[in-house]
Structure formats: structure tokens, C-alpha cells
Amino acid sequence: MSWAIALPRPRVTAARASAAEPVATPSDHARVENRPDPVAAISAGGAEPFRVLVFGGGALVGWGLREHRLGLPGYLAEELARLTGHGIDLDVVVEPDPTRLPALAALRGLRLKRFDAVVVVLGERAALDRSRQGGWGAEVATALRLLQSECAPTAALAVLTSASAMLALEERGWGGRAARTVAEQQAAVVEQLCATSRRVLFTDLAAPAGETGRQLPAHAYRDWGGVVADRLAPRLTAAAAAVSVESPSVFRGRNDEWSRQKALTAMRLSADQQNPLLEELVREARRYHRVSGAALTLLDGDLQWALAAEPAQPVRPRTEGYCQVTVKRDGITLINDAQKDGRVADLPLAQRLRFYAAYPLHSWDGHRIGSFCIFDPKPRALREGDFGRLHDLARRAEQELWARALRSR
């Protein structure tokens, strides 16, 4: 059976980099050790943020990069924010072989209905595995069915193929010309499958024009992110205007305490664990906002306790802290004067801590497990839009919590 089709494929082509430009090495497992954590939380500033998931391998793996912010996810988030006028909270989950059944089970476990957009990046592994080449189309078809059934009806969906780009950058070619030919055929298969649904956008990430050797210029990620954002942004904007009971924002507003506690337990966090990065994020939040204290707190059963705090915070009953308010919504909780705020005015804590601002902290499957907060004994007169830096620090704290939990496993 021939999978060749006549439809033109959108190819994202990056221009040649200058000799001084930083470069990232493609997927060479034997020689390249630097790569970002397999999970990441990236934010681009703006109000009413869209939640976006980027899942998969290939160009997403980020070999040679220090962090995903420097790769495709970072540029995609920035461009989506610019084009839509909304903030972007983008989650990255790296799965080098995203069409395999275990990967699809993990994808389903991320609770896809909470995302306004889901982007799946397919890599080169299937092109190198001769035993899969006959049935790979069926794997992709299964993945597409899962996306369309598990995501919200208004979610923007996209599938990117990057096998040709990754294989072309290898000096001798992992599988030689034959593997690259298979990668091109597989891109045609994916395009054909995506064309059967109006919901799924398809883009083939082409190798940077004129590049030879094994180095991927940094601007390739920027160019790819820009073209993908150009296609996703109109769908995100249209979906935002069509709020319904099935929209991702409504789903994110739900609060299932049993599932939330289960998600926290699965992350295996404990008060006796020390993490210098989390402690530094808390100190930075305190310094930047010029407040008396900052903390990363978790709601665990009937208790509220701090994983990182400055100054140190006591364990207190959940009902006596402000974190219980933060986990009820997916956005900032701002209490300018606790004694005048009906949500917390009756708590004894309101006599000592009158100002409080916090963003919820999420588990990797989207449950609100705690808060990243700042507080002060003096009331303030601030607006929700004054806390872009706090939001960024909260997202960085989330990424560290996810990476730390995965390392502990």
C-alpha cells in the first residue's frame, strides 16, 4: 500500500545560522548528554492565560539545551502570548515515542480536558524501527482518536512531525538515506490522517535550510515555534469566545478533593526534604515583592505545611490558613486586607497577616495541591495584574516539584 498523497504539506524551514549563533545538538544519545528535564512548566506573561500541553519527542526532546524555554516550547509560548494577547501556561511532557500504548496511557492520565490546546510532537524513533514501519499508521490513528475523544470539544489540537529534521541533522544519518525516506513517508501518513478531521492541525518541521553536520541552530526552534503559533492562535482566540459547560476553563474550575489528595500523595513530597532551588525561589519572591514572608505550602489532608518558606512557617490546620482559598480557583488569590475580606476575615490569622497573594501549585496532572504565596502584616492596595513575577516563580516551582517527583521514582 502506498501512503503518498498529493496534498501539499506545510513545512517550517529555518534559515541558516551565523557562525557565532548558539547551537543545539540533535538526538544523538551516545554523544549528547545535556537535555532539559522531561517535564517543564513555562509561562508567557498576559491576562487570562490559556493552558497548553506540548507532548512527545523528536524536536521536543531538546538535546543540547539547558531548558525547554530555549527550545520549541519556549518560543511557542512567547509567540502564542503575542498573537492572542493572553498569557500562556505551557506544560511540557517529553515522551520520545509518543504513539506507543504506554505513552498514550500517560497522555490520557494528564487530564486533557483542562487544556485549551494540545500539541503532539512525533520524532524519529518509528522511522528507525523497521519492525514498526508497517503498522505505524495504526499507532498514529489511535493517538488521534484519543486526542479527539479526551480533549475538550473547543480545544485546539496539533500534530507535528520532526523525524526528517532530526535525521537530516545527523552527519552520517542514523539510518542513512533509507531512514530519511521512511520519515518522509511517515509524515505523509500523519498528514493524511490529520486531514480526516477538521480539529487537528498538521505541520512538518523541516530541517534548517543549508545546514550540514549535527548542529541545530537556535533560531530553528524560534522559527518552528512561530509558524506553529500562527496556526494555533486563531483557534485559541475563537475558543475563548465560545465558553460553555464543556470548555477547558470550566473543567479547570472543578475541585475534586479525593483526586487532589491522591495526586499530592503520588508526588511523594515530605517536609523533611531540602531543596535549594525551591528555597531560592521563595527568597526571590520575598525580595522582589518586598514583603515579610513567602512560602511554598501544600494542603495535605487536614493540614497545611510548607515545603519551603522564609521565614519558617508552622504546620497549621488546613482550615486556619489561606491556602485553602487558593486551591479553589485556577488563578491568583489576592487578599489586600484580610480583616476586610469575607473569605478569611474570621480566621485568627487575619489579625497577624493582612496581605496575601498566591498562585496555586499543580501536580503534573493538573490538580491544585498547594500554593506559592507572599504575605505581610501590613495591608496593601494592589491589583491582580501586579503579580507577573510571582506567577513566573510559581511556574518554576511547579517544574521543580514535577522533576523532583520523577527523579524520586
Q: What is the DSSP string of 313-341?
A: ---EEGGGSSHHHHTTSSS-EEES-GGG-
Does 59 score more than 70 pLDDT? yes
Does 408 score more than 80 pLDDT? no
Residue 4's pLDDT band, with cuts at 50, 70 and 90, is: very low
Identify the CA nearest to 51 among candidates 239, 226, 333, 327: 239
Residue 227 near residue 72 (C-beta atoms within 8 A) = no
- What pLDDT is stored for residue 33 in this prediction? 54
Q: Which three cell numbers stand for residue 408?
A: 524520586
Residue 207's pLDDT band, with cuts at 50, 70 and 90, is: confident
Assign 368 to helix, strand or coil: strand
The residue that leads in pLDDT, 25 or 297, is 297
Residue 7's pLDDT band, with cuts at 50, 70 and 90, is: very low
Residue 172's pLDDT band, with cuts at 50, 70 and 90, is: very low
Burial 169-179 (b: 16+ CB within 10 A, else e): bbeeebbeeeb
The number of residues in the chain equals 409
- What pLDDT is stored for residue 23 in this prediction? 37
- What pLDDT is stored for residue 83 in this prediction? 96
- What pLDDT is stored for residue 175 in this prediction? 54
What is the spatial distance between Cα 361 and Cα 330, in angstroms, rounded to a whole number?
Answer: 9
- What pLDDT is stored for residue 341 in this prediction? 95
Q: Which three cell numbers stand for residue 118?
A: 494540545
Helix (H) or strand (E) holding 176: helix 176-194
Question: ∠221-222-224 over CA atoms, to 5°?
Answer: 65
Does 249 score more than 80 pLDDT? yes
Q: Cα 143 to chain center, whole Å?
A: 19
Identify the CA nearest to 322 among candidates 289, 351, 357: 357
- What pLDDT is stored for residue 26 in this prediction? 36
Q: What is the DSSP string of 86-119?
A: S-EEEEEEE-SSTTSHHHHHHHHTT-GGG-SEEE
Q: Give the dihedral sign, CA 104/96/173/129.
A: negative
Q: Which of 4-13, 262-271, 298-307 has the lowest mean pLDDT?
A: 4-13
| pLDDT, tens digit, 9 for 90 and up, residues 68-119 | 999 999 999 999 999 999 999 999 999 999 999 999 999 999 999 999 999 9
Q: Which amino acid is at 386?
A: D
Radius of gyration of the chain, Cα coordinates, nearest whole angstrom? 22
Domains of the chain: 11-252 (3.40.50.1110), 257-408 (3.30.450.40)
- What pLDDT is stored for residue 128 in this prediction? 83
Residue 215's pLDDT band, with cuts at 50, 70 and 90, is: low
Assign 89 to helix, strand or coil: strand
Residue 10's pLDDT band, with cuts at 50, 70 and 90, is: very low
Assign 227 to helix, strand or coil: helix
What is the spatial distance between Cα 57 and Cα 225, in angstroms, rounded to a whole number?
Answer: 15
Name the average pLDDT for the chain: 85
Q: Which amino acid is at 233?
A: A
| pLDDT, tens digit, 9 for 90 and up, residues 316-355 | 999 999 999 999 988 899 999 999 999 999 999 999 999 9
Q: Cα 258 to chain center, whole Å?
A: 24
Which residues share a beta bridge with 362?
368
Does 315 score more than 60 pLDDT? yes
**Residue owning grid cell 497573594:** 357
- What pLDDT is stored for residue 320 in this prediction? 94
Does 31 score more than 80 pLDDT? no
pTM score, whole prediction: 0.86
Q: Cα 11 to chain center, whole Å?
A: 24
The residue that leads in pLDDT, 27 or 155, is 155
Identify the CA nearest to 136 among candidates 179, 187, 201, 206: 187
